[in-house]
Chains A and B, each alone.
Chain A
Amino acid sequence: MEFIYYFGDVFTPVNFLLLLVGTIGGLILGATPGLSPTMAVALLIPFTFHLEAVSGLILLGAAYTSTVAGGAVSAILLKIPGAPANIATTLDGHTMAKKGEGARALQLSFLASAVGGIFGVLLLIFLTPLLAKWALAFGPSHLFWLAILGVTIIGSLDSASVVKGLLSGCIGLWLATIGFDDIMGAQRFIFHSSLGGGINIIAALIGLFAIPQVLTMFAKGRRNDNIEVIEVKKHAIGDAVRELFSRKRALAIGTAVGSFIGLIPGVGGQIAGLVAYDQTKKFSPEREEFGTGHSEGVIAAESANNAMVGPSLVPLLTLSIPGSPTAAVLLGGLLIHGIFPGTDLFDNHPEVAWTFINSMLIGQVLMCLFGLYIAGLAARVAQVPQSVMAAVVLGLSVFGAYSVQSSMGDVYVMAALGVMMFFLERFGFSAAPLVLGLILGPIAEANFIQGSMIANATDGLGSYFFSGGLNLILIAVVIASIIYSVMMELRQNRAQTVGVEA
């Protein structure tokens, strides 16, 4: 209960002001297509040089929390996920916005984020020592199986055809191999100098989601008569709260999956939203409605990607191992003040550790309040004329892709992938499985190669990858996931045939 003692420190004028600035600024940056949480946090580092250790961390922590939640805004309103964490939010969120329910989708997403986020931070407060052991239990073989589990989701994710879904995933997996191979250093598929650094995931994300949106708007043409003005329905916050708690299953699965995956170093928050979405869909009696603007989809995805924030800091704060790129940046923010995460942090600087953690708790509440406040206003984005919207999104895409690592190459890759995706989408391919492939490919490959090197030196491939409790559990889940997908596919085919005959 030590943490309660430090709650007062969050409310000193300077700290609270920074928390407010970090939260609101983070929401806005997160909602800007192309600015990922890692980038937002990295860009803030120079400011923290001049602040006290606690204040600097509060600023970074607030920005981290709220950029993740802010990414949902552009995912819902524009079908452009702000970060890999928000991909799953587009699937149902954007369909809701197209029906004029943008305000409802945004309110649900902020409420779900806050519930997930608070749960995640509470885990961090109460279970840190236990969780640290759990985070370390995942070695290369387990991470490999976890990535394979992700691959099994690909086929069923947002695609009318399983084969085209899988093929989209394969394209993503291949794109991920472009560039220097990370372990051997061999050059692979570098047929243009822009590809030397491989395909940057953020640039790819912008291209694959934003550019097809822009081109679709162009393709509708200049004529006014066929442009449907979306009526943006008002939605009472009270209704959103009631709806959230009537969707307990989605909220519970999202929060649990997000906390669990967020904990594992190296896999991080990128896939938490997608896995939670997929699991909620599989357990829902209304699974047919996923993808058509079903609120469970938004709730699961958003509760998961904020629930991951707290646990993702466990390996950093206890073991000094940053589990994600964002955590690595936070580590820099601590070191610059001469504070070493681990026992040093909690024993010698408890005021830093606990004030920081508490501020994340308060930050979640502030984020939710502010988000709900702007939800109604933001939903009006749907009414911006298409000609303006297309040009705005194109401009943002170019700036966003460039600012990831100040590289023109990323801009070219972004545009090329985007134009390709526009045409592929017209023929039944889809972007979500492609991005999932792009994210999972490197995780699966690096862990397989590293695992097989360890295995070859010790007890052989077979026993390294196929024995041990955790391996076997993960393999069982992979097999169950495959069987489930095949069964669903068969049932769907039969239903269609029956439908045709009738």
Chain B
Amino acid sequence: MNRAQHIIPSGIVFFVGVWIAWVSFTQQPSEAFLFPRLISASFVALSGWTFLKALLGWSKIGSGISRQMAVNLAPGLVVALLYVFWLAKALGFYTATALAFFVLLSLYDPAPHDNLKTWSKRGIITACFIAVMYGVFGLLLKVYTPREILF
């Protein structure tokens, strides 16, 4: 794995640490920021050390992200993020979950796409899952999810 891969995450963590420290030491009231100050000081020290190690190429732990992994991950991550941050609220939980579930299943199911049988199988699995979710969260636990768009 190359050095750049270690530099980016440890760099981000380090800059988050610096930002936290800056906020903690400038905000008032100081009693409320006593602990954040202690924490951010150790945060900056530890993340600085990690960042330095990454810059020097000493970081060896962790397997990084290969190109193939990134390619595999991208579509699933995009669908998942759309689902969580937008569709779930906009369409309602059950509608959005059914949609995202079916799309993700189709994206990552190794079975061939040109077969009606696989598509109907995916549809059935989705329907079963939504039924179970509704049974548990809607009927048993009575969780009030955001209003569905369709019903």
Instruction: Report if A and B touch in the complex (beta carbons < 8 A).
Output: yes
What residues of chain A have their CB less than 8 Å away from a CB belonging to chain B? Answer: 32, 35, 43, 160-161, 163-164, 166-167, 170-171, 173-174, 177, 181, 184, 186, 188-189, 214-215, 217-224, 227, 385-388, 390-392, 394-396, 398-399, 402-403, 406, 408, 411-412, 415, 419, 423-429, 441, 444-445, 448-449
Nearest CB to that of A397 among chain B residues? Answer: B84
Give the chain B neighbours of A167 by CB distance below 8 A.
13, 43, 46-47, 50
Quick one: given A181-B32, A186-B32, are A174 and B59 in contact (CB under 8 Å)? no
Quick one: given A171-B43, A219-B69, are A387 and B109 in contact (CB under 8 Å)? yes
Which one, A215, A399, A444, contacts B137 given CB within 8 A?
A: A399
Tell me the bound Cα distance from A434 to B109 in angstroms: 33
CB pair A412–B85 under 8 Å, yes or no, is yes
Tell me the count of chain B residues lying within 8 A, CB to CB, of chain A.
66
CB pair B101–A391 under 8 Å, yes or no, is yes
Tell me the bound Cα distance from A387 to B108 in angstroms: 5
Any A CB within 8 A of the CB of B104: yes
7 closest A-B pairs by beta carbon, nearest first, are A218-B76, A428-B61, A221-B72, A428-B62, A186-B32, A387-B108, A224-B110
Which one, B20, B72, B88, contacts A174 given CB within 8 A?
A: B20
CB pair A390–B85 under 8 Å, yes or no, is no
Give the chain B neighbours of A390 by CB distance below 8 A.
76, 104, 108
Question: For the complex, would chain A's binding face be called helix, strand, loop or mixed by DSSP majority?
Answer: helix
8 A-B pairs in the complex with CB atoms less than 8 angstroms apart: A32-B136, A170-B46, A214-B76, A219-B72, A222-B108, A394-B100, A411-B88, A448-B35
Tell me the bound Cα distance from A228 to B68 in angstroms: 18
CB pair B125–A388 under 8 Å, yes or no, is yes
Any A CB within 8 A of the CB of B149: no
Tell me the bound Cα distance from A336 to B88 in angstroms: 37
Any A CB within 8 A of the CB of B131: no
CB pair A170–B101 under 8 Å, yes or no, is no
CB pair B77–A391 under 8 Å, yes or no, is no
Nearest CB to that of B137 among chain A residues? Answer: A399
CB pair A402–B93 under 8 Å, yes or no, is yes
Tell me the bound Cα distance from A415 to B133 in angstroms: 19
Any A CB within 8 A of the CB of B115: no
Give the chain A neighbours of B46 by CB distance below 8 A.
163, 166-167, 170
CB pair B72–A222 under 8 Å, yes or no, is yes
Quick one: given A184-B29, A398-B83, are A222 and B109 in contact (CB under 8 Å)? yes
Q: A424-B13, A445-B35, A448-B35 are in contact. List 18 more A-B contacts (CB 8 A).
A: A32-B136, A43-B141, A166-B46, A184-B29, A214-B80, A224-B110, A387-B109, A394-B104, A395-B133, A399-B145, A403-B137, A406-B143, A408-B89, A408-B146, A411-B84, A415-B81, A427-B10, A428-B61
